[in-house]
Amino acid sequence: GMPKGVMWRQDDLFQVLGAGGNAALGIAPATSIPELIARIQGPEHLRATMITAAPLMHGTGQFSAFISLISGGTVCTLPSRKFDAVELWNETERLKATNIVLVGLAFSTPMLEALEADPGRWDLSSIRSMSSSGSMWSQENKRGLLSHIPGAMIADSFGSSEAVGLGASASAAGAEAQTAAFMLGPNTAVFTEDGRRVEPGSGERGLVAVSGFLPMGYYKDEAKSAKTFLTFEGTRWSVPGDWAEVNADGTLKLLGRGSQCINTGGEKVFPEEVEEALKTHAHVRDAVVVGVPDPRFGERICAVVEPEGAHDLTLAAMSDHVKTQLAHYKAPRELVVVESIGRAPNGKVDYKAVKALALVALGVQA
């Protein structure tokens, strides 16, 4: 797709990316230029050797690389143009990498599969952290990775290139964070569409927003800038369109992006939560959920599923599995099985293309 063209002032981006520190590793920002220079020139063992498995054209890879560079670290990219989990682990061992950057399950699933297929093959003791942003990362997968790399910490960030620091979760062996559960960032709030703050434990849905150091807007797109950068309570906020509830303890329950929301019989269903439920099935490798036309309900939920191995998947099995985790109206009523979901190199999925594929497979008119 077309890049969003988010315009950042260098100072704002430097500040929001840690100002010479690293929140994921508990390193406080540098308070002065001399301190920053001293850190960069300091002991090499304190600096990160980061492998960006995510491509640098994606905000996760690019911003993570900036964090490493402004703290005197090293950024390593993989030799191949296509992601290969075995190559990643080979390079991690060879370079004694301390940090690995990925984008959710599109990367972490083959990473875990490689470790499960050949346990003990690689010396991964150098890894201090694995971090992701921009895509769902399941608790089950985090648990699996940490069973092979127990000394590492997992940092799962919720944000985007126009809204850095919406939320974060940290996992360690034996204490893996739940899927889509994030602590609110220090400058983050959840607002209803009319600008009211969502109260913790209310069950009300709202849009996640972040203030503080923000982009100037989108390049040559004033209409999109006006829609995303809003003023609430006299403060400018970035509101990229992610819906969430605020739990009683103040944590976020992320629901999904409003632009993909499915309206079925008046009920709003966020595809991401159904997708995550489907992916917990033992025979599902990847899944995308879209809405297809329904004469009675407006839309019905269709699961587009990539199986794990040579397994025959049925609609009944997929629907029953989702019902064990979510309300019954969120279960798929259609199933399309594909060889591959066809995610982009950055782990993202083209919902329009997947929906078009599903419509053709089902013989349904848009």
pLDDT digits (tens, 9 = 90+) for 82-106: 899 999 999 999 999 999 999 988 8
Q: Measure Cα distances from 251 to 59, 86, 158 in Å.
A: 24, 35, 12
Residue with tokens 């002991």: 43
Residue 21's pLDDT band (boundaries 50, 70, 90)? confident
* pLDDT given for residue 311 in this prediction: 85
d(CA 61, CA 235): 29
Is 162's pLDDT higher than 50? yes
d(CA 200, CA 198): 7
Q: Model confidence over 279-335: pLDDT tens digits?
A: 999 999 999 999 999 988 889 999 999 999 888 999 999 999 999 999 999 999 999
Residue 216's pLDDT band (boundaries 50, 70, 90)? very high
Highest mean pLDDT among 18-32, 147-161, 257-271: 147-161
Q: How many residues does this entry show for the chain?
A: 366
Contact (Cβ atoms closer than 8 angstroms) between residue 208 and residue 188: yes
* pLDDT given for residue 185 in this prediction: 81
* pLDDT given for residue 343 in this prediction: 86
* pLDDT given for residue 314 in this prediction: 96
Mean pLDDT, residues 159-187: 86
* pLDDT given for residue 143 in this prediction: 93
Nearest CA-CA partner of 1 in 351, 363, 357, 280: 351
* pLDDT given for residue 44 in this prediction: 66
Is 238's pLDDT higher than 90? yes
Lowest mean pLDDT among 45-49, 233-237, 260-264, 289-293: 45-49
Domains contained in the chain, CATH given? 6-185 (3.40.50.980), 189-256 (2.30.38.10), 261-362 (3.30.300.30)
What is the DSSP code (8-state) at residue 121? S
CA atoms within 13 A on the CB side of 256: 17
Residue 1's pLDDT band (boundaries 50, 70, 90)? very low
d(CA 53, CA 34): 32
Residue 24's pLDDT band (boundaries 50, 70, 90)? low
Q: Model confidence over 199-212: pLDDT tens digits?
A: 999 999 999 999 99
Nearest CA-CA partner of 250 in 319, 317, 199: 199
Lowest mean pLDDT among 176-190, 242-256, 319-333: 176-190
Q: Across the chain, what does the average pLDDT equal? A: 90
Q: Say which residues have a Cβ less than 8 Å from residue 360's Cβ, sequence separation at least 6.
A: none
Q: Measure Cα distances from 256 to 85, 189, 209, 301, 323 in Å.
A: 28, 16, 14, 15, 19
Is 40's pLDDT higher than 80? no
* Cα 237 from chain centroid (whole Å): 21
Residue 21 vs residue 277, higher pLDDT: 277
What is the percent of the chain with per-residue pLDDT over 70, rounded to a whole number? 96
Mean pLDDT, residues 174-183: 81
* pLDDT given for residue 3 in this prediction: 66
